[in-house]
Amino acid sequence: MLRFCLISLFVVLTVAVADNTPKERISIKQTYQKRQLRQAEPTPGPVPVEQPVPATIAIPTNMAEACTSTDCNNRGTCFGTKQSPICLCQLGYAGPRCADTYCDSARDCNGRGLCMGTSTTFSCLCNFGYSGERCLTEATTVPVPTAAPVPAPAAANVPAEVAQPAPQVASAPSSATS
């Protein structure tokens, strides 16, 4: 990839230097006309291109050695170098070097909750009725919150027509005809 980039950069620079037009303002139309004329002219053959000078990048020898799966405890694939490995762990393993396993809800939370994390660092989300770090404490009674009764408004703050009950209207007896 680096070699491709260097070759492309060299070609671009070579083409820019090969253009011997004076450095004056040229309109877009003139540039377009010159390009058409150059394309219409027959080319004598391939244009020789100078070989680019290879670039040398100094890599420290202590970082050049690639890591292997042993750097991930044989539980994952290693990318990077021995100095800074990056492990892609197999299913069931976690951690920077794949040394940890995921926690087990049946074992770590006593089957009374959902375990989240690894076997060394985890939290239990306990089922209803259980509590504690590992869901060991069983609740004997579950308190149910109750709403406090709303106090009746004081008579002084209520308008007179609301404070007094409405008069009862007597209804006329209905007559049934058969």
Q: Which pLDDT belongs to residue 154?
A: 61
Q: Which pLDDT belongs to residue 177?
A: 53
Higher per-residue confidence, 21 vs 76: 76
Report the CATH superfamily, name and number, of domain 105-138. Laminin (2.10.25.10)
Q: Which pLDDT belongs to residue 163?
A: 53
Domain extent listing, the chain: 105-138
Query: For residue range 134-165, what is the model confidence (pLDDT) as tens digits?
Result: 999 988 765 566 766 666 666 555 555 555 55
Q: Which pLDDT belongs to residue 17?
A: 46
Q: Which pLDDT belongs to residue 124?
A: 95
Arithmetic mean of pLDDT, 48-76: 75
Q: Which pLDDT belongs to residue 68?
A: 92
Residue 79 near residue 89 (C-beta atoms within 8 A): no
81, 78, 79, 80: which is closest to 61 by C-alpha? Answer: 81
User: Is residue 63's pLDDT more than 90?
Assistant: no
Q: Which pLDDT belongs to residue 178?
A: 45
Q: Which pLDDT belongs to residue 40?
A: 67
Query: For residue range 2-19, what is the model confidence (pLDDT) as tens digits?
Result: 555 555 555 444 444 445
Higher per-residue confidence, 136 vs 23: 136
Query: For residue range 66-114, what is the model confidence (pLDDT) as tens digits?
Result: 899 999 999 999 998 888 899 999 999 999 999 999 999 999 999 999 9
